[in-house]
Amino acid sequence: MNEYYSRQYLLWGEDTQELLATKTIAIIGSGGMGCSLGLMLSGLGLKEIYMIDFDKVEVHNIHRQIAFSKEDDGKEKSVVLSDKMQQRSLSKITPIIGNFEHFTSLSIVPDLILDATDNLQTRKEINDFAKQNNIPWVYASVEEFRGQVAFFENASFDEVFKISILPPKGVIAPMVAQIATLSANLTSRYLAGLNIQKDVLHYLYYKDDGEFCVDKFSL
């Protein structure tokens, strides 16, 4: 029994905690979604978490990319985020500087890939890689007051979504965190061997009248 995980033993027991210690994940992107996912999942007790990003921290990132401090301006995102995660984690946190294509060249096949990217083309590449290696992945996207999350097992991203290039939209940290939280919960439950709804698109949004809605679509 490791005291660090005592509340998780209460949740799902020692065997499940030991199961988690055999699992590896890769989080593609160390921006807003990557920061929230990385910080939340670093305490889960996984064997290893790969953090992949080619980009450096800029001042306009920091408001929503909650692992970064003002003095991190100009530093490698995956390295800074991995350091923050490692400080609170018993898992091995491995930063990889580069894009997703670079990651695929390293012959690393994790148990699950988490999408924390900001474009549709890379999500298609993640989908292709996941299918080739017969592993699932979790899609998560957010803008303004809406977001989408889906656990892809049998469904295929580009069969349903059109791959286009779109300009960035406004976003705040709480909305990123809300979407990341669903992605992280699906991840946690899946890796712990608990049931989740797979191949279902969750569309989360606030209506103009203030109502918070979650619509679900079969993929």
Partner 1 sequence: MSVKVEFLGPINKESINLDVSSLMELSNELKKDKDLLKWLEISAISINDNMVKELTHPLNSGDKVCILPPVCGG
Count of residues of this chain found to bind partner 1 when the rule CB under 8 A is applied:
38
Residue 135 contacts residue 111 (beta carbons within 8 Å): yes
Burial state string for 20-33 with b = 16 or more CB within 10 A and e = fewer than 16: beebbbbbbbbbbb
Using CB under 8 A as the binding rule, whether residue 38 contacts partner 1 is answered as no
Tell me: does residue 172 bind partner 1 (CB under 8 A). Answer: no
* From candidates 20, 24, 29, 51, binder to partner 1 by CB under 8 A: 29
**174 touching partner 1, by CB under 8 A:** no
Q: Is the dihedral of CA 114, 120, 125, 130 positive or negative?
A: positive
The set of residues, in sequence order, having a beta carbon less than 8 Å from that of 214 and lying 6+ positions away, is: 202, 203, 204
Nearer to partner 1, 14 or 101 (CB): 101
- The sign one gets for the Cα dihedral 141, 106, 56, 95 is positive
Q: Give kind and range of the element (H or E) at residue 152.
A: strand 146-152
Q: Which stretch binds partner 1 (CB under 8 A): 32-40, 66-74, 78-86, 104-112?
A: 32-40
Of residues 187 through 216, those in contact with partner 1 by CB under 8 A are: 201, 203, 205, 215-216
85 versus 192: smaller Cβ distance to partner 1: 85
> Binding mask 148-167 vs partner 1 (x if CB under 8 A, - otherwise)?
x------x---xxxx-x-x-
To partner 1, the closest distance from the beta carbon of 1 in angstroms equals 36
In the set 86, 119, 181, 185, which binds partner 1 (CB under 8 A)?
119
Torsions phi, psi of 217, nearest 5? -135, 135
Options 146, 172, 181, 198; binder of partner 1; rule CB under 8 A = 146
Q: How far apart are CA 211 and CA 3, in angstroms?
A: 40
